[in-house]
Amino acid sequence: MKGYPGWFLAAVLGTLLLMFVSGCVLAPTTLVMRFDTDVPWRLPGGGRVLVAAMHAAAGFLAVMLLGSLWTVHMRGNWRRKRQRASGATLGVLLLLLTASAVAIYYAGDGDLGAAASLLHLGAGLGFALPFGWHWAHARRAANSSVGQTPPPAKPHHT
């Protein structure tokens, strides 16, 4: 990605992958604890705490990285009218994930906490498809522009 250090894209992708996988692993426990659902498998206590801590730490890191994406990638491509639908969808989902994470943390075990958990699970699972589309479309656009010659420069008159 233009305008970012070489490690930045790997950090964003790694963080998002860690959050997605850890969230999927934590989902059965959420269903049991919030909704009294019977599930065939869930993490045992010690593993659950470790994975939840990794998920939360990755969430904090993701908010920082996404703030960095906002300054160059999101604003610049919005102005250029590139991938607005998938970008806006991802932005809304990320806002929902962040807000629901705060609500899960502070709302406790009541109805608000359960609703926030359900929203968080839905937004997290729903993130994969638009992200995949956004990524694939960007790769396709980048690959199609490789080798194209830029338009000739306009003569500069003084």
Residue 150 placed within a domain? no
In a domain, 71, yes or no: yes
> Mean pLDDT across the chain, nearest whole number?
92
Dump pLDDT digits (tens) for 29-67: 999 999 999 999 999 989 999 999 999 999 999 999 999
- 100 assigned to some structural domain: yes
Predicted confidence at residue 26, as pLDDT, reads 98
Residue 50's domain comprises 8-132
Is 2 within a domain?
no
Q: Evaluate whether residue 157 is within a structural domain.
A: no
Q: pTM (2 decimals)?
A: 0.85
> Does 109 reside within a domain?
yes
Report the number of distinct structural domains present in the chain: 1
Q: Per residue in 92-126, pLDDT tens?
A: 999 999 999 999 999 988 999 999 999 999 999 99
- Return the minimum-mean-pLDDT range out of 5-19, 61-75, 143-157: 143-157
- Which of 58-62's residues contact partners 24+ apart within 8 Å by CB, and which partners? 58/15, 58/18, 58/19, 58/22, 59/19, 59/97, 59/98, 59/101, 61/11, 61/15, 62/12, 62/15, 62/16, 62/19, 62/94
143 belongs to a structural domain: no
Query: Is residue 27 in some structural domain?
Result: yes
